[in-house]
Chains A and B, each alone.
Chain A
Amino acid sequence: DVKVTQSSRYLVKRTGEKVFLECVQDMDHENMFWYRQDPGLGLRLIYFSYDVKMKEKGDIPEGYSVSREKKERFSLILESASTNQTSMYLCASSSTGETEAFFGQGTRLTVV
């Protein structure tokens, strides 16, 4: 059974904190993605990576960074959390040439 696992289901952090969201996939996928999901806006791409140590900006990268040191792990970093980063964060992975992207269960982050 394919799996994308996000380290936390729920997180509450304070404004200004540095926040790490971790994602691990066990399918040996080359591609990994971080999206955020907000009501009425759907999923918006923050960052993605097509290979280890590679990263590319998505549509809304401001205030975020990422790290991919190993193929199976893709981390999203909020350098200084702000209340407008309160959202559902979804990690996904896919294999080049295969259509389906597999999603984790999401992390609901609240910044207070």
Chain B
Amino acid sequence: QKEVEQDPGPLSVPEGAIVSLNCTYSNSAFQYFMWYRQYSRKGPELLMYTYSSGNKEDGRFTAQVDKSSKYISLFIRDSQPSDSATYLCAKGKAAGNKLTFGGGTRVLVKP
């Protein structure tokens, strides 16, 4: 079993819809949970991170971590075509340390 599982998609939604992305993980010894966004032919860029459990909101993006069920979620409200990318969840034990990534979910927002 992979340490971080993520549905590969693709997930296709109409513009303006809510995008819901999920990951599950198997090892509880991690404190940092991140979402990276990767556009085609580019390196990943940090979108959001959460420390331990709880929610975090940044504009149209909300990240949630439920440590009891080992579940990581990302919600994108009012999705735009520019949100079309691959979204990678990741976890780390400490800030700046190595990360363990999920396989990535490809999202396509259609105008």
Binding site for B on A (CB under 8 A): 4, 30-31, 33, 35, 40-45, 48, 58, 90, 92, 94-101, 103-106
Number of A-B contacts (CB under 8 A): 62
Q: Is the CB of B103 within 8 A of A40?
A: yes
Q: With A and B bound together, what is the CA distance between A40 and B42 in angstroms?
A: 17
Pull 7 A–B residue pairs with CB atoms less than 8 Å apart, ordered by A. Answer: A30-B96, A43-B44, A43-B90, A45-B99, A97-B95, A105-B42, A106-B43
Among A44, A99, A103, which residue has its beta carbon within 8 angstroms of that of B95? A99
Size range of the interface on B? Answer: 20 to 34
What residues of chain A lie closer than 8 Å to B4, measured between beta carbons?
42
Q: Is the CB of A45 within 8 A of B46?
A: no
Among B8, B41, B99, which residue has its beta carbon within 8 angstroms of that of A101? B99
Q: Is the CB of A43 within 8 A of B88?
A: yes
Q: Is the CB of B103 within 8 A of A41?
A: yes
Among A31, A33, A100, which residue has its beta carbon within 8 angstroms of that of B46? A100
B28-64, CB < 8 A from A = 32, 34, 41-46, 49
What residues of chain A lie closer than 8 Å to B8, measured between beta carbons?
40
Among B95, B100, B102, which residue has its beta carbon within 8 angstroms of that of A98? B95
Q: Is the CB of B43 within 8 A of A103?
A: yes
Given A31-B97, A99-B46, A103-B44, 13 additional A-B pairs, CB 8 A: A42-B4, A42-B88, A42-B102, A42-B104, A45-B98, A90-B43, A94-B97, A95-B96, A96-B96, A99-B32, A99-B49, A105-B42, A105-B43
B73-111, CB < 8 A from A = 88, 90, 92, 95-104
Q: With A and B bound together, what is the CA distance between A45 and B90 in angstroms?
A: 12
Min CB gap A65→B, angstroms:
17
Among A30, A40, A48, A98, which residue has its beta carbon within 8 angstroms of that of B98? A48
Q: With A and B bound together, what is the CA distance between A41 and B101 in angstroms?
A: 9
Min CB gap A69→B, angstroms:
21
